[in-house]
């Protein structure tokens, strides 16, 4: 199936919406690649936490707290670099294999400073049959109502 890619620069505390919804919901997506990189090469002090959600996030709600029991969380990328601690740059990326058919929301928090961060996401496009479409849509509805 085709791969769609999305990239952007997100400010500290920012939320980006990636529009994926269709009128019929017959197109689904699955994350195949998720990467982040400093907006400023050679950035000395940064701890970027970038997360992908299936439901809209409230303005100012971006945080570095990671809760994998949150069923609306699709993926997390964490990138740190600190010259003062002597640790080299370190990056960790985890994403779910879940199929979704609605918009997704990217949040960013820099816990050390207030620097922006770049992200890159590749999504595999999947044709959903009626049953898969219904399941994906019902999951989205349930997640919205539980928040």
Query: What is the value of pTM for the model shown?
Result: 0.85
Q: Per DSSP, what are the bridge partners of residue 86?
A: none
Q: According to the model, what pLDDT value does residue 146 have?
A: 58
Q: Which domains does the chain have, with CATH numbers?
A: 3-146 (2.60.120.340)
From residue 76, how far is each of 48, 90, 112, 141 by CA, in Å? 10, 14, 18, 22
User: Cα–Cα–Cα angle for 35, 103, 36, nearest 5°?
Assistant: 10
What would the pLDDT profile of 51-86 be if each residue is shown by its tens digit? Answer: 999 998 887 777 788 999 998 999 999 988 766 555
First to last CA, the chain: 32
pLDDT cut 90: percent of the chain above it: 44
Please state the rounded mean pLDDT for residues 113-130: 91
């Amino acid at each position: 199936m085709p791969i769609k890619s999305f990239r952007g620069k997100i400010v500290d505390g920012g939320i980006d919406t990636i529009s994926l919804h269709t009128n019929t919901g017959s197109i689904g997506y699955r994350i195949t690649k998720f990467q982040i990189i400093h907006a400023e090469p050679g950035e000395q002090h940064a701890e970027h936490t970038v997360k992908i959600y299936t439901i809209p996030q409230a303005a100012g709600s971006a945080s570095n707290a990671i809760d994998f029991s949150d069923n609306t969380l699709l993926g997390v990328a964490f990138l740190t670099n600190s010259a003062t601690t002597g640790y080299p740059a370190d990056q960790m990326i985890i994403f779910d294999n879940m199929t979704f058919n609605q918009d997704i929301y990217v949040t960013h928090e820099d816990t050390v400073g207030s620097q922006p961060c770049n992200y890159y996401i590749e999504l595999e496009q999947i044709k959903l049959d009626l049953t898969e479409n219904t399941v994906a849509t019902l999951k989205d509805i349930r997640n919205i109502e539980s928040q």
